[in-house]
Chain A
Amino acid sequence: MNIDSIQNGIVLDHIAAGKALQIYNDLQLDKLDCSVAIIKNVKSRKMGRKDILKIDQEIDINLDVLGYIDPDISVNIIKDGKLIEKKKIELPERLVGIKKCTNPRCITTTEQGIQHIFKLTDREKRIYRCIYCEADK
């Protein structure tokens, strides 16, 4: 299957197979009016199978969201049809407004206008905890 190369935009490569749709939703790519290609189950030497997202527009990507979902994703910035930058992403120390605390005893469930914030407490196991109640995500 062939998908056209993009001229100016972003290619998210090396997405774990099956994760592309989650990233599409979490980055709110549905709100863009440009072309976005979701390519699933592409053969990969390194990963066996992978997903790819191609966004045909230069946008600000929330790297914290990507890092939280999978810090091994490649973020390739394309300009005039050429790869000009590979952005390095990593597990963010804090998740701000990305996920909601699900602990029914947490103050975030009742306080209006409160920002949901998680901090990374175990990098190896990728455990994030709500800064308010310490419940894990």
Chain B
Amino acid sequence: MKHLIDPMDLSIEELDNILNLAQDIIDNKEKYSEVCKGKKLATLFFEPSTRTRLSFEAAMMELGGNVLGFSSASSSSSAKGESVGDTVKVVSCYADIIAMRHFKEGAPMLATMKSDVPIINAGDGGHNHPTQTLTDLLTIKREKGRLDHLVIGLCGDLMFGRTVHSLIKALSRYEGIEFVLISPDELKIPDYIRTEVIEKNNIPYREITSMEDVIGELDILYMTRVQRERFFNEADYIRLKDSYILDNSKLALAKSDLSILHPLPRVNEIAVEVDDDPRACYFRQALNGKFVRMALIMTLLGLEA
């Protein structure tokens, strides 16, 4: 049985198949409207989420399937002290596939050891968020027509930003990738991502603190939010939350074909004025998230149109 816990769980071939399937779903929506008829997706969200959970649920509904689940730990049995393992074991009796978000890192990995149905990691603390990575890859592929030979700037909270970690891992397998890591010193990427992913694959990278200095070199600018929920210390959050704000004046320094991505939700790191710029891809990216999750659900359930 196949799960998706880490973006590296998928080979490049499997990844390409999912992205191609997602594109076919976009082009031929009717063909897929009953593929999951009679199937149930359980969304176990121990940590609140809007777009990821709704995206999963919309994806399953558009495939003709049904959804069940909960949207916070307080409305689940974990509030009564039930373990993650027991919750998953029970839910796997009711559903054909599980999408799980948890504030503790590694919870979905634990779930794979207890579940009788495929588990999709829908985000585990500051660790991984592989379906956001699939969304990001589909967006880059649709915007740029390729996943290789790109200069990719990642900006903001690179330490706790799980989407960043997952995206770096996934892109590190493609040729001609260069990373520009833009963050305050306190929020640099974790050592293990730098040494065991970027350096191990001999990928050129720079760690810098000024967005303006490099924005003109980038093909992709991946913005992230400084996440309040990842800080143990409120004072550190307040000090760092406004480190980078992308507005039209900074965007004026960028290439005309730059693609701006953001996993959303945004707070104020991208000024609203940027939304009208054709280089802003983040709302198209959110739409892509639904299609790629449709492709993933079909793949893990072994279904074809």
Contact = CB atoms under 8 A, between A and B. Distances in A.
Interface of A: 103, 105-114, 121-122, 127, 129-136
Interface stretch (B12-20, B60-68, B106-114, B181-189): B106-114
B196 A107 contact: no
Contacts of A135: 105
Contact of B105 (A103, A112, A113, A114): A103
A130 B192 contact: no
B127 interface: yes
Given A129-B192, A133-B127, A136-B192, A106 B105 contact: yes
A107 B125 CA distance: 10
Given A103-B105, A106-B105, A132 B110 contact: yes
A91 to B, nearest CB: 16
A3 to B, nearest CB: 44
Interface string B85-105: 100000000000000001111
B118 interface: no
A134 B85 contact: no
Contact of A131 (B85, B109, B124): B109
Interface of B: 83-85, 102-107, 109-110, 124-127, 192, 196
Given A133-B127, A134-B127, A107 B192 contact: no
A121 B192 CA distance: 10
18 contacts: A105-B104, A105-B125, A106-B106, A107-B102, A107-B104, A107-B106, A107-B110, A107-B124, A111-B83, A113-B85, A121-B196, A127-B196, A129-B192, A132-B106, A132-B110, A134-B105, A134-B127, A135-B105
A134 B192 contact: yes
B196 A105 contact: no
Contacts of B110: 107, 111, 114, 132
Given A114-B110, A132-B110, A109 B192 contact: no
A109 B109 CA distance: 14
Q: Which 4 A-B pairs have the closest CB atoms?
A: A132-B106, A133-B105, A107-B104, A133-B106
Q: A103, A105, A109, A135 — which one has the most chain B CB atoms within 10 A of its CB?
A: A105
Contacts of A111: 83-85, 104, 107, 110
Interface of A is mostly: loop
B190 to A, nearest CB: 9
Nearest to B6: A134
A96 B21 CA distance: 39
A28 B296 CA distance: 47
Given A121-B196, A130-B106, A132-B105, A107 B126 contact: no
A123 B103 CA distance: 31
Contact of B106 (A122, A127, A131, A136): A131
B106 A108 contact: yes
A111 B81 CA distance: 10
A112 to B, nearest CB: 6
Contacts of B103: 105
Given A111-B83, A131-B109, A133-B125, 9 more contacts: A105-B104, A105-B127, A106-B104, A110-B104, A129-B192, A130-B106, A132-B106, A132-B109, A134-B106
A87 to B, nearest CB: 31
